[in-house]
Amino acid sequence: MAAIHFSDADFEEKVLASSLPVLVDFYAQWCGPCRMAAPIIDELSETYKDKILIGKVDVDASVATAAKYGVQSIPTVIMFKEGKEIERKVGFGGRGGYEEMIKKVS
């Protein structure tokens, strides 16, 4: 199962108001390192589907959300819990790096 997509329109409702922690991968179509992260993010979203929500934000399509969280480098992966950012990883973080973020909240 591929990770779900969030946008400016539903970020508030689906991420900030979520009862589960949410891991968000800020990416763009044209970004090579994002392509490295994508299959890992997809796989983790399957592995941890009962514990946390994992999704993506295309920074070209959702400029406002990317700007709000000061995303200046992609991929940037941010963990949200109860509507607040609790951790972020900038640049390709690797499976180990992302799993570590997930394990802290699940």
Partner 1 sequence: MANETVRNVIIIGGAPAGYTAAIYLSRATLSPLLLAGEKAGGQLMWTTLVENYPGFANGVQGPDLMQQMRDQAIKFGTEVKNEDVTKVDFSGQVKKVWVGETEYLAKTVIISLGASPRMTGAGEERLFGRGVSTCATCDAAFFKGKTVYVVGGGDSAMEDTLTLSMYTNKLTIIHRKDSFKASKIMQDRVLLTKKVPVLWNTELVEVIGETKLEKIKVEDNRTGETKELPAEGLFVAVGHMPNSDLFKGQLELDQMGYIVTNMTTSKPTNNQEVWLHGAPTQTSVPGVFASGDVVDLRYKQAITAAGFGCMAALDAEKFLTGALE
How many residues of this chain interact with partner 1, rule: CB under 8 A? 23
Whether 34 is a known active-site residue: answer yes
Residue 35 binding partner 1, by CB under 8 A: yes
The site map against partner 1 for 70-89 (x = CB under 8 A) is: xxxxx-x-----------x-
Whether 36 is a known active-site residue: answer no
Residue 39 binding partner 1, by CB under 8 A: yes
Q: Which is nearer to partner 1, 20 or 90 (CB)?
A: 90
Preceding amide of 75 cis, omega within 30: yes
Minimum Å gap between C-beta 20 and partner 1 is 25
- Reduce the secondary structure of the chain to three states and give it as a string: CCCEEECCCCHHHHHHCCCCCEEEEEECCCCHHHHHHHHHHHHHHHHCCCCCEEEEEECCCCHHHHHHCCCCCCCEEEEEECCEEEEEEECCCHHHHHHHHHHHHC
Residues in contact with partner 1 by CB under 8 A are: 28, 30-36, 39-40, 60, 70-74, 76, 88, 90-92, 94-95
Which residues carry out catalysis?
A: 31, 34
